[in-house]
Amino acid sequence: MRIILIGQAAFGQKTLEALLKKREQVVAVYVPPDKPGARIDPLKESAQKQDISVSQPQRMRDPGVYEKFMELSPDLCVMAFVTDIVPASILNCPKLGTIQYHPSLLPKHRGRSSINWAIINGDTRTGITILWPDAGIDTGPILLQKEAAISPTDTVGSLYYDKLFPLGVDAIVESVDLINKGKAPKIPQDESQATYERPCREGEAVIDWAQPVDKVYNLIRGTNPQPGATTLLRGQKLKIFDCDLILQDAEAAPGEIVEVSDKGIAVAGRGGRLLIKRVQPQGQAPSASSGQAKIKAAEYAASAGLRAGDKLG
């Protein structure tokens, strides 16, 4: 079976490696264009090492992309971490169609920020879906689903990399095997259960300290590592990342700092407190090595002269 893989980053790379390990015939790989100064995309790098054709159109709907895609005579297209809009002409081009990975249990949490909102909403379970994409946003028939637990300490990063990433790679390989055997289902989604989540950007990640402390905690977890939960301190933006939830009365107004220690910054909330452990101050430039500007909260507190009684928000 001739497979074309559309994807990017580590997920696309591991999907390619898993398909090749199963001796599937991947005839071409499509990845986004190279970014100036950035390292080569891992999927592109792996494909080149295996002498697999690599294409990098600016957009999959650009003129000439469909014609080149069709010339490859694909039997199946696999979409693994695709952020571009792939037109129906390409989705329908392969003889056996196209399958796509999505990190939620569809029809719940459609959209690009499904992992963020599952945590922000306080869900305790999520999973992955392999679907047959159509012209809608994550609306196509379902081929396969796998569930995963969301632990009380999961962040977007841990949930994706520790659970939904490996689960998704395995599910793609299993789905291709079902297609090879002619046993792959196409189960319509139940539209009465459908939810669509808007992209989780900085505007959706502003902390309201008047909310119950568990909701604030979920917002911080659900925006870590991106886009980061935002609050104000002395008129400047402060993004909060790692934190612990402590369900004990802080005896202070929500948003008030109750303690500063080498463990971090303890902040009062409604019904408990949060121990903030990692932050990103406004104007902090990313480092050349890590590409991020996140520092220990204790380090920031010392440099900013924070003390009990200071107020966030």
- Give 232-280 as a DSSP string: EETTEEEEE--EEEE-S---S-TTBEEEEETTEEEEEEBTEEEEE-EEE
Domain closes at, from 152, 170, 193: 193
Mean pLDDT check: name the lowest of 52-66, 171-185, 235-249: 235-249
Please give the radius of gyration of the chain, using alpha carbons only, rounded to the nearest integer.
22
User: Measured between alpha carbons, how far is 223 from 227 in angstroms, rounded to an integer?
Assistant: 5
Average pLDDT, the chain: 95
pLDDT band at 67 (very low <50, low <70, confident <90, very high): very high
Helix (H, G, I), strand (E, B) or coil at 148: strand
243 Cβ contact partners less than 8 Å away, ≥ 6 residues apart: 217, 220, 264, 274, 275, 276, 277, 278
**Residue 290: is its pLDDT beyond 50?**
no
What is the span of the domain harbouring residue 233?
202-304
**Residue 286: is its pLDDT beyond 60?**
no
Mean pLDDT of 224-236: 96
57/79 same-domain check: yes
Domain closes at, from 193, 226, 251: 193
User: Is residue 178 a part of any domain in this protein?
Assistant: yes
User: Measured between alpha carbons, how far is 232 from 237 in angstroms, rounded to an integer?
Assistant: 5
**Residue 247: is its pLDDT beyond 90?**
no
15/97 same-domain check: yes
Q: Using an 8 Å Cβ cutoff, are 71 and 93 in contact? A: no
88/113 same-domain check: yes
Q: How many structural domains does the chain have?
A: 2
109: which 2 tokens? 């949490």
**Residue 99: is its pLDDT beyond 90?**
yes
24/77 same-domain check: yes
Domain closes at, from 151, 171, 193: 193
User: Is residue 310 a part of any domain in this protein?
Assistant: no
Q: Which residues pair with 129 in a beta bridge?
A: 102, 145
pLDDT at 135: 92
What is the reported pTM?
0.93
Q: Using an 8 Å Cβ cutoff, are 105 and 145 in contact? A: yes
47/165 same-domain check: yes
Helix (H, G, I), strand (E, B) or coil at 281: strand
Mean pLDDT of 202-208: 97
User: Is residue 313 a part of any domain in this protein?
Assistant: no
122/245 same-domain check: no
270: which 2 tokens? 């409604």
**Residue 10: is its pLDDT beyond 70?**
yes
